Amino acid sequence: MTPAIDSSALVDESTTIQNMNSLEPPSMKPTLESPIKKKARVEKGDGIPEPEFTTIHHIPLTTHTDAFGVDPVPISWAHPNPSTRGPVICTVRHSAQRNAIGAHQGSYCIYTGLAVAAGKLNPDYVPNLKLTSPVFKIGPYPSWSDPKKISALDPFGHMTTEAYGDWLDKGWDIRPTIAVTKAHIDLPECREAVASGRLKADGKVLLPSGQSICSKAAIEPVWYLPEIARRFQTTESNLRRSLFRMTNGMYPELITRFDIKVFLPPIGGLTIYIWGDPDTIPDEDIELTCRVHDECNGSDVFGSDICTCRPYLTHAIEECIKTAQKGGCGVVIYFRKEGRSLGEVTKYLVYNTRKRQEGGDSAERYFSCTEQVAGVQDTRFQTMMPDPLHFLGVTKIHNFLSMSDMKYNAIVNTGITIVNRVEIPPDMVPDDAQVEITAKVFHGYNAGKAYQGIDADQLKKTKGRKYNYDGSEVD
Protein backbone atom coordinates (compact mmCIF):
# COMPACT_ATOMS: atom_id res chain seq x y z
CA MET A 1 0.00 0.00 0.00
CA THR A 2 1.31 3.44 -0.86
CA PRO A 3 2.08 5.41 2.32
CA ALA A 4 -0.22 8.35 2.90
CA ILE A 5 1.28 11.82 3.11
CA ASP A 6 0.40 13.65 6.29
CA SER A 7 -1.10 16.99 5.31
CA SER A 8 -0.03 18.48 8.65
CA ALA A 9 3.54 18.19 7.44
CA LEU A 10 2.92 20.50 4.49
CA VAL A 11 4.12 24.09 4.59
CA ASP A 12 3.12 27.13 2.58
CA GLU A 13 5.08 27.13 -0.70
CA SER A 14 5.97 30.81 -0.53
CA THR A 15 7.51 30.30 2.92
CA THR A 16 9.56 27.37 1.65
CA ILE A 17 10.87 29.33 -1.34
CA GLN A 18 11.72 32.28 0.88
CA ASN A 19 13.68 30.05 3.28
CA MET A 20 15.50 28.29 0.44
CA ASN A 21 16.44 31.58 -1.19
CA SER A 22 17.85 33.05 1.99
CA LEU A 23 19.29 29.73 3.19
CA GLU A 24 19.49 31.16 6.67
CA PRO A 25 18.15 29.58 9.87
CA PRO A 26 14.35 29.79 9.63
CA SER A 27 12.28 30.95 12.54
CA MET A 28 11.40 28.17 14.92
CA LYS A 29 8.23 29.95 16.01
CA PRO A 30 5.23 27.61 15.68
CA THR A 31 2.75 28.46 12.92
CA LEU A 32 -0.87 27.58 12.40
CA GLU A 33 0.18 24.90 9.92
CA SER A 34 2.74 23.27 12.21
CA PRO A 35 2.46 21.44 15.52
CA ILE A 36 3.54 23.12 18.73
CA LYS A 37 6.97 21.96 19.89
CA LYS A 38 6.61 19.37 22.62
CA LYS A 39 8.77 18.84 25.67
CA ALA A 40 10.55 15.54 26.00
CA ARG A 41 8.64 13.02 28.05
CA VAL A 42 11.06 11.61 30.58
CA GLU A 43 10.40 8.56 32.69
CA LYS A 44 10.97 9.25 36.34
CA GLY A 45 14.27 8.05 37.71
CA ASP A 46 16.36 7.16 34.63
CA GLY A 47 16.35 10.43 32.70
CA ILE A 48 15.75 8.62 29.41
CA PRO A 49 12.91 10.01 27.28
CA GLU A 50 10.16 7.70 26.09
CA PRO A 51 10.59 6.75 22.43
CA GLU A 52 7.96 7.82 19.92
CA PHE A 53 7.59 5.54 16.92
CA THR A 54 7.01 6.61 13.33
CA THR A 55 4.65 4.32 11.43
CA ILE A 56 5.50 3.10 7.96
CA HIS A 57 2.32 4.70 6.60
CA HIS A 58 3.34 8.19 7.67
CA ILE A 59 5.87 10.24 5.67
CA PRO A 60 6.74 13.54 7.34
CA LEU A 61 7.92 16.20 4.91
CA THR A 62 11.11 17.58 6.33
CA THR A 63 10.78 20.92 4.54
CA HIS A 64 8.38 21.89 7.31
CA THR A 65 10.43 23.24 10.20
CA ASP A 66 8.42 21.37 12.83
CA ALA A 67 7.76 18.14 10.94
CA PHE A 68 11.22 16.68 11.50
CA GLY A 69 12.82 16.46 14.89
CA VAL A 70 9.89 18.07 16.71
CA ASP A 71 11.38 16.85 19.95
CA PRO A 72 15.03 15.96 19.14
CA VAL A 73 16.99 14.10 21.78
CA PRO A 74 19.57 16.56 23.17
CA ILE A 75 23.16 15.89 22.20
CA SER A 76 26.23 17.60 23.67
CA TRP A 77 28.86 16.63 21.11
CA ALA A 78 32.13 16.93 23.03
CA HIS A 79 31.00 15.73 26.44
CA PRO A 80 33.29 12.92 27.73
CA ASN A 81 30.43 10.99 29.35
CA PRO A 82 28.39 9.13 26.70
CA SER A 83 25.26 9.24 28.86
CA THR A 84 25.48 13.00 29.19
CA ARG A 85 26.60 13.42 25.57
CA GLY A 86 23.53 11.49 24.40
CA PRO A 87 23.14 8.96 21.57
CA VAL A 88 23.04 9.82 17.88
CA ILE A 89 19.46 9.15 16.79
CA CYS A 90 19.25 8.83 13.01
CA THR A 91 16.94 5.88 12.38
CA VAL A 92 13.55 6.05 10.67
CA ARG A 93 11.78 4.73 13.75
CA HIS A 94 11.90 7.98 15.71
CA SER A 95 11.39 10.79 13.18
CA ALA A 96 10.08 13.23 15.79
CA GLN A 97 13.06 12.67 18.09
CA ARG A 98 15.92 12.37 15.65
CA ASN A 99 18.91 14.56 16.45
CA ALA A 100 20.84 13.94 13.24
CA ILE A 101 20.34 14.66 9.55
CA GLY A 102 20.87 11.91 6.98
CA ALA A 103 20.73 8.14 7.37
CA HIS A 104 22.84 5.25 8.61
CA GLN A 105 24.98 3.11 6.28
CA GLY A 106 26.22 6.00 4.16
CA SER A 107 25.51 5.49 0.46
CA TYR A 108 24.23 1.98 1.22
CA CYS A 109 21.05 3.41 2.75
CA ILE A 110 19.69 3.47 -0.81
CA TYR A 111 19.96 -0.32 -0.96
CA THR A 112 18.03 -0.51 2.30
CA GLY A 113 15.30 1.48 0.59
CA LEU A 114 15.34 -0.94 -2.33
CA ALA A 115 15.05 -3.88 0.08
CA VAL A 116 11.97 -2.27 1.65
CA ALA A 117 10.47 -1.52 -1.77
CA ALA A 118 11.04 -5.12 -2.86
CA GLY A 119 9.32 -6.43 0.25
CA LYS A 120 12.50 -8.11 1.49
CA LEU A 121 12.97 -5.94 4.58
CA ASN A 122 10.46 -4.82 7.16
CA PRO A 123 11.09 -1.08 7.66
CA ASP A 124 10.16 -1.53 11.33
CA TYR A 125 12.88 -4.14 11.88
CA VAL A 126 15.23 -3.35 14.75
CA PRO A 127 18.67 -5.07 14.75
CA ASN A 128 19.49 -7.61 17.41
CA LEU A 129 22.73 -6.19 18.81
CA LYS A 130 23.16 -8.72 21.62
CA LEU A 131 26.34 -10.33 20.23
CA THR A 132 27.76 -7.37 18.31
CA SER A 133 29.82 -5.59 20.96
CA PRO A 134 33.52 -4.86 20.20
CA VAL A 135 35.92 -7.79 20.54
CA PHE A 136 38.63 -5.49 21.91
CA LYS A 137 38.53 -2.20 23.77
CA ILE A 138 39.09 1.21 22.20
CA GLY A 139 39.13 4.26 24.46
CA PRO A 140 37.87 6.42 25.86
CA TYR A 141 40.70 8.92 25.36
CA PRO A 142 40.99 12.66 26.13
CA SER A 143 40.79 13.42 22.40
CA TRP A 144 37.20 12.16 22.35
CA SER A 145 36.03 15.28 24.15
CA ASP A 146 37.89 17.70 21.87
CA PRO A 147 35.83 18.59 18.78
CA LYS A 148 38.95 19.93 17.08
CA LYS A 149 40.27 16.37 17.10
CA ILE A 150 37.08 14.36 16.57
CA SER A 151 34.11 15.73 14.65
CA ALA A 152 34.00 13.47 11.57
CA LEU A 153 33.01 10.31 13.45
CA ASP A 154 31.14 9.40 16.61
CA PRO A 155 33.75 8.23 19.16
CA PHE A 156 31.01 6.37 21.06
CA GLY A 157 29.72 4.75 17.87
CA HIS A 158 30.99 1.30 18.89
CA MET A 159 29.66 1.49 22.44
CA THR A 160 25.94 1.40 21.66
CA THR A 161 25.10 -1.66 23.74
CA GLU A 162 27.42 -0.61 26.57
CA ALA A 163 26.65 3.10 26.82
CA TYR A 164 23.03 3.07 25.69
CA GLY A 165 21.82 -0.35 26.79
CA ASP A 166 19.10 1.23 28.93
CA TRP A 167 17.87 3.13 25.89
CA LEU A 168 17.74 -0.07 23.85
CA ASP A 169 15.84 -1.84 26.62
CA LYS A 170 13.29 0.96 26.53
CA GLY A 171 12.64 0.40 22.83
CA TRP A 172 14.91 2.96 21.21
CA ASP A 173 16.36 2.07 17.80
CA ILE A 174 19.97 3.26 18.13
CA ARG A 175 22.44 1.98 15.55
CA PRO A 176 26.21 1.58 15.96
CA THR A 177 28.31 3.62 13.54
CA ILE A 178 31.47 1.68 14.40
CA ALA A 179 32.00 -2.09 14.45
CA VAL A 180 35.11 -3.65 16.00
CA THR A 181 36.27 -7.19 15.18
CA LYS A 182 39.32 -9.35 14.31
CA ALA A 183 40.47 -11.00 11.09
CA HIS A 184 43.13 -13.00 9.27
CA ILE A 185 44.60 -11.11 6.29
CA ASP A 186 45.88 -13.20 3.38
CA LEU A 187 47.88 -11.20 0.83
CA PRO A 188 49.98 -12.73 -1.95
CA GLU A 189 52.68 -10.14 -1.23
CA CYS A 190 52.94 -11.38 2.37
CA ARG A 191 53.07 -15.00 1.23
CA GLU A 192 55.89 -14.06 -1.13
CA ALA A 193 57.64 -12.12 1.64
CA VAL A 194 57.60 -15.18 3.89
CA ALA A 195 58.83 -17.43 1.09
CA SER A 196 61.70 -15.06 0.26
CA GLY A 197 62.61 -14.45 3.89
CA ARG A 198 61.66 -10.78 3.84
CA LEU A 199 59.15 -11.55 6.60
CA LYS A 200 59.58 -14.16 9.33
CA ALA A 201 56.57 -16.06 10.67
CA ASP A 202 56.21 -15.91 14.44
CA GLY A 203 52.90 -17.78 14.81
CA LYS A 204 51.38 -14.84 16.65
CA VAL A 205 51.26 -11.86 14.28
CA LEU A 206 52.28 -13.73 11.13
CA LEU A 207 51.57 -17.39 10.38
CA PRO A 208 53.83 -19.66 8.30
CA SER A 209 51.17 -19.56 5.57
CA GLY A 210 51.74 -15.82 5.15
CA GLN A 211 48.46 -14.90 6.80
CA SER A 212 48.64 -12.09 9.33
CA ILE A 213 46.35 -11.70 12.32
CA CYS A 214 44.88 -8.26 12.87
CA SER A 215 42.18 -6.31 14.65
CA LYS A 216 39.96 -3.99 12.66
CA ALA A 217 37.19 -1.42 12.95
CA ALA A 218 34.73 -0.19 10.33
CA ILE A 219 33.57 3.40 10.77
CA GLU A 220 30.68 5.33 9.22
CA PRO A 221 31.11 9.11 8.97
CA VAL A 222 29.24 11.22 11.52
CA TRP A 223 29.85 14.95 11.16
CA TYR A 224 29.47 17.65 13.78
CA LEU A 225 28.73 20.51 11.39
CA PRO A 226 29.96 23.52 13.42
CA GLU A 227 33.45 22.04 13.72
CA ILE A 228 33.53 20.78 10.12
CA ALA A 229 32.75 24.33 9.02
CA ARG A 230 35.55 25.71 11.19
CA ARG A 231 38.06 23.28 9.70
CA PHE A 232 37.13 24.40 6.21
CA GLN A 233 37.43 28.03 7.27
CA THR A 234 33.84 28.84 6.42
CA THR A 235 30.59 29.49 8.25
CA GLU A 236 28.22 26.74 9.23
CA SER A 237 25.55 28.47 7.16
CA ASN A 238 27.73 28.39 4.04
CA LEU A 239 28.68 24.76 4.64
CA ARG A 240 25.03 23.75 4.94
CA ARG A 241 24.08 25.78 1.88
CA SER A 242 26.87 24.23 -0.21
CA LEU A 243 26.02 20.66 0.86
CA PHE A 244 22.32 21.28 0.15
CA ARG A 245 23.04 22.77 -3.25
CA MET A 246 25.55 20.18 -4.47
CA THR A 247 23.33 17.25 -3.42
CA ASN A 248 20.46 18.78 -5.43
CA GLY A 249 18.45 19.44 -2.30
CA MET A 250 18.62 15.89 -0.88
CA TYR A 251 18.64 17.12 2.71
CA PRO A 252 16.29 20.09 3.30
CA GLU A 253 17.06 19.91 7.01
CA LEU A 254 20.50 21.33 6.26
CA ILE A 255 18.89 24.69 5.57
CA THR A 256 15.71 24.46 7.65
CA ARG A 257 16.99 22.93 10.89
CA PHE A 258 20.03 24.79 12.11
CA ASP A 259 19.36 23.41 15.58
CA ILE A 260 20.25 19.91 14.32
CA LYS A 261 24.06 19.93 14.31
CA VAL A 262 24.91 16.31 13.44
CA PHE A 263 24.94 14.97 9.86
CA LEU A 264 25.43 11.42 8.57
CA PRO A 265 26.57 12.09 5.00
CA PRO A 266 25.86 9.66 2.12
CA ILE A 267 29.54 8.88 1.54
CA GLY A 268 31.90 5.99 2.11
CA GLY A 269 33.46 5.43 5.50
CA LEU A 270 36.80 3.96 6.51
CA THR A 271 38.37 0.83 7.97
CA ILE A 272 41.14 0.65 10.55
CA TYR A 273 43.48 -2.36 10.46
CA ILE A 274 45.71 -2.96 13.49
CA TRP A 275 48.62 -5.39 13.83
CA GLY A 276 49.79 -5.89 17.39
CA ASP A 277 48.21 -4.85 20.68
CA PRO A 278 45.79 -1.91 20.21
CA ASP A 279 46.29 -0.96 23.86
CA THR A 280 49.84 0.16 23.09
CA ILE A 281 48.78 2.78 20.53
CA PRO A 282 48.53 5.74 22.97
CA ASP A 283 51.91 4.93 24.55
CA GLU A 284 54.47 7.24 22.93
CA ASP A 285 57.34 5.04 24.10
CA ILE A 286 56.09 2.05 22.08
CA GLU A 287 56.82 2.11 18.35
CA LEU A 288 53.86 2.89 16.11
CA THR A 289 53.96 2.43 12.34
CA CYS A 290 51.09 3.91 10.34
CA ARG A 291 49.78 4.45 6.84
CA VAL A 292 46.68 6.44 5.92
CA HIS A 293 45.53 5.10 2.56
CA ASP A 294 42.84 6.40 0.21
CA GLU A 295 40.94 3.82 -1.79
CA CYS A 296 42.06 2.96 -5.31
CA ASN A 297 40.03 0.02 -6.56
CA GLY A 298 41.93 -0.33 -9.83
CA SER A 299 45.28 -0.75 -8.11
CA ASP A 300 44.39 -2.00 -4.61
CA VAL A 301 42.15 -4.82 -5.88
CA PHE A 302 42.99 -5.42 -9.54
CA GLY A 303 46.67 -4.43 -9.68
CA SER A 304 46.53 -1.61 -12.23
CA ASP A 305 50.08 -0.31 -12.66
CA ILE A 306 49.26 3.33 -13.47
CA CYS A 307 49.74 4.32 -9.81
CA THR A 308 51.64 3.32 -6.68
CA CYS A 309 48.60 2.61 -4.50
CA ARG A 310 48.74 -1.17 -4.03
CA PRO A 311 52.54 -1.40 -3.79
CA TYR A 312 52.62 1.32 -1.14
CA LEU A 313 49.71 -0.30 0.74
CA THR A 314 51.27 -3.77 0.81
CA HIS A 315 54.66 -2.32 1.74
CA ALA A 316 52.99 -0.53 4.65
CA ILE A 317 51.31 -3.75 5.78
CA GLU A 318 54.67 -5.53 5.81
CA GLU A 319 56.17 -2.73 7.89
CA CYS A 320 53.20 -2.86 10.27
CA ILE A 321 53.73 -6.60 10.72
CA LYS A 322 57.44 -6.09 11.44
CA THR A 323 56.68 -3.40 14.00
CA ALA A 324 54.08 -5.59 15.72
CA GLN A 325 56.55 -8.48 15.88
CA LYS A 326 58.98 -6.19 17.75
CA GLY A 327 56.35 -5.41 20.38
CA GLY A 328 55.03 -2.27 18.75
CA CYS A 329 51.87 -1.69 16.77
CA GLY A 330 51.05 -1.14 13.10
CA VAL A 331 48.00 0.73 11.84
CA VAL A 332 46.58 1.13 8.33
CA ILE A 333 43.56 3.41 7.93
CA TYR A 334 41.77 2.76 4.66
CA PHE A 335 39.48 5.59 3.51
CA ARG A 336 36.79 5.16 0.85
CA LYS A 337 37.94 8.16 -1.17
CA GLU A 338 38.10 6.70 -4.66
CA GLY A 339 39.81 8.86 -7.25
CA ARG A 340 40.81 11.59 -4.77
CA SER A 341 37.16 11.61 -3.69
CA LEU A 342 36.15 12.56 -7.23
CA GLY A 343 34.93 9.05 -7.98
CA GLU A 344 36.08 6.28 -10.29
CA VAL A 345 34.25 7.58 -13.37
CA THR A 346 36.04 10.91 -13.09
CA LYS A 347 39.33 9.12 -12.50
CA TYR A 348 38.98 7.09 -15.68
CA LEU A 349 38.04 10.21 -17.65
CA VAL A 350 41.28 11.73 -16.38
CA TYR A 351 43.21 8.63 -17.46
CA ASN A 352 41.83 9.02 -20.99
CA THR A 353 42.75 12.68 -21.01
CA ARG A 354 46.27 11.93 -19.85
CA LYS A 355 46.85 9.31 -22.52
CA ARG A 356 45.21 11.23 -25.38
CA GLN A 357 46.66 14.67 -24.80
CA GLU A 358 49.23 16.01 -27.21
CA GLY A 359 52.59 14.51 -26.36
CA GLY A 360 51.05 11.64 -24.43
CA ASP A 361 50.96 10.96 -20.71
CA SER A 362 53.34 13.38 -19.05
CA ALA A 363 54.46 14.03 -15.47
CA GLU A 364 54.55 17.72 -16.35
CA ARG A 365 50.77 17.75 -16.94
CA TYR A 366 49.79 15.12 -14.38
CA PHE A 367 47.82 17.42 -12.08
CA SER A 368 46.48 19.74 -14.78
CA CYS A 369 44.66 16.83 -16.48
CA THR A 370 42.65 16.18 -13.33
CA GLU A 371 41.78 19.85 -13.02
CA GLN A 372 40.84 19.96 -16.70
CA VAL A 373 38.25 17.21 -16.21
CA ALA A 374 37.06 17.81 -12.64
CA GLY A 375 37.67 21.51 -12.15
CA VAL A 376 39.82 20.76 -9.09
CA GLN A 377 42.93 18.69 -8.46
CA ASP A 378 41.77 16.93 -5.31
CA THR A 379 38.67 16.88 -3.09
CA ARG A 380 39.92 14.58 -0.34
CA PHE A 381 40.55 17.62 1.88
CA GLN A 382 42.64 15.88 4.52
CA THR A 383 41.36 18.16 7.28
CA MET A 384 38.99 15.40 8.47
CA MET A 385 41.48 12.57 7.96
CA PRO A 386 43.20 12.63 11.40
CA ASP A 387 39.97 11.96 13.34
CA PRO A 388 40.33 8.14 13.36
CA LEU A 389 43.90 8.54 14.64
CA HIS A 390 42.56 10.54 17.57
CA PHE A 391 39.83 7.93 18.01
CA LEU A 392 42.63 5.39 18.61
CA GLY A 393 44.36 7.72 21.06
CA VAL A 394 47.36 8.36 18.78
CA THR A 395 49.67 11.16 19.92
CA LYS A 396 52.91 10.02 18.27
CA ILE A 397 53.67 8.13 15.05
CA HIS A 398 57.21 6.78 14.86
CA ASN A 399 57.05 5.64 11.22
CA PHE A 400 54.60 7.33 8.84
CA LEU A 401 54.43 5.53 5.51
CA SER A 402 53.24 8.32 3.27
CA MET A 403 54.92 10.87 1.03
CA SER A 404 51.88 13.17 1.03
CA ASP A 405 52.58 16.64 2.39
CA MET A 406 48.83 17.20 2.73
CA LYS A 407 48.37 14.17 4.99
CA TYR A 408 51.47 14.99 7.02
CA ASN A 409 50.43 18.60 7.59
CA ALA A 410 46.87 17.65 8.50
CA ILE A 411 48.09 15.19 11.13
CA VAL A 412 50.76 17.31 12.80
CA ASN A 413 48.45 20.34 12.82
CA THR A 414 46.17 18.41 15.20
CA GLY A 415 48.98 17.84 17.70
CA ILE A 416 50.25 14.40 16.65
CA THR A 417 54.03 14.04 16.39
CA ILE A 418 55.49 12.25 13.35
CA VAL A 419 59.10 11.11 13.78
CA ASN A 420 60.01 9.37 10.51
CA ARG A 421 58.44 9.73 7.08
CA VAL A 422 58.93 6.60 4.99
CA GLU A 423 58.73 6.76 1.20
CA ILE A 424 57.83 3.88 -1.09
CA PRO A 425 61.00 2.06 -2.24
CA PRO A 426 61.77 3.08 -5.84
CA ASP A 427 61.92 -0.53 -7.00
CA MET A 428 58.27 -0.96 -6.00
CA VAL A 429 57.04 1.82 -8.31
CA PRO A 430 55.46 0.29 -11.47
CA ASP A 431 56.73 1.51 -14.83
CA ASP A 432 53.54 3.36 -15.78
CA ALA A 433 53.41 4.97 -12.31
CA GLN A 434 56.66 6.87 -12.90
CA VAL A 435 54.52 9.75 -14.18
CA GLU A 436 52.63 9.91 -10.89
CA ILE A 437 55.60 9.62 -8.54
CA THR A 438 57.69 12.11 -10.51
CA ALA A 439 54.90 14.70 -10.57
CA LYS A 440 54.13 14.29 -6.88
CA VAL A 441 57.73 14.53 -5.73
CA PHE A 442 58.39 17.58 -7.90
CA HIS A 443 55.32 19.34 -6.50
CA GLY A 444 56.17 18.81 -2.85
CA TYR A 445 55.70 15.21 -1.78
CA ASN A 446 58.28 14.08 0.76
CA ALA A 447 60.95 12.41 -1.35
CA GLY A 448 63.71 11.44 1.04
CA LYS A 449 67.07 10.36 -0.34
CA ALA A 450 65.54 7.78 -2.65
CA TYR A 451 64.01 10.34 -5.00
CA GLN A 452 66.60 13.09 -5.00
CA GLY A 453 67.35 14.60 -8.39
CA ILE A 454 63.79 15.01 -9.67
CA ASP A 455 63.89 18.47 -11.22
CA ALA A 456 62.10 20.35 -14.01
CA ASP A 457 64.04 18.47 -16.70
CA GLN A 458 63.11 15.11 -15.20
CA LEU A 459 59.49 16.28 -14.96
CA LYS A 460 59.41 17.01 -18.71
CA LYS A 461 61.17 13.80 -19.67
CA THR A 462 58.98 11.38 -17.70
CA LYS A 463 56.31 9.87 -19.94
CA GLY A 464 53.73 7.18 -19.41
CA ARG A 465 52.71 4.18 -21.49
CA LYS A 466 50.97 4.81 -24.81
CA TYR A 467 47.62 3.18 -25.58
CA ASN A 468 46.16 2.58 -29.02
CA TYR A 469 42.84 4.25 -28.23
CA ASP A 470 42.53 5.20 -31.91
CA GLY A 471 43.45 1.77 -33.20
CA SER A 472 46.97 2.68 -34.23
CA GLU A 473 50.01 0.63 -33.37
CA VAL A 474 51.64 1.14 -29.98
CA ASP A 475 55.36 1.94 -29.88
Catalytic positions are: 378, 380
Cα 394 to Cα 216, 375, 381, distances in angstroms: 16, 35, 20
Residues 179 and 218 sit within 8 Å (Cβ to Cβ): yes
Give the largest Cα separation in the chain, rounded.
Answer: 80
> How many secondary structure helices (H) and strands (E) does the chain include?
17, 12
Rounded-to-integer distance, Cα 195 and Cα 169, Å: 52
The DSSP secondary structure of 188-234, one letter per residue, reads HHHHHHHHHTSS---SSSB-TTS-EEEEEEEE---EEHHHHHHHTTS
Q: Confirm if 129 and 291 have CB atoms less than 8 A apart.
A: no
* Residues 72 and 100 sit within 8 Å (Cβ to Cβ): no
CB contact set of 199 (below 8 Å; sequence gap of 6+): 190, 193, 206, 210, 318, 321, 322
Q: Where are the alpha helices (DSSP H) in 343-468?
A: 344-356, 366-374, 387-391, 405-412, 434-442, 456-461
Q: Give yes or no for a contact between 306 and 464, defined as CB atoms under 8 angstroms apart.
A: yes
Peptide bond preceding 82 in cis form (omega within 30 of 0): no
Q: What is the rounded CA–CA span in Å between residue 169 and residue 363?
A: 59
CA separation for the pair 289, 309 (Å, rounded): 18
Identify residue 467 by its one-letter amino acid code.
Y
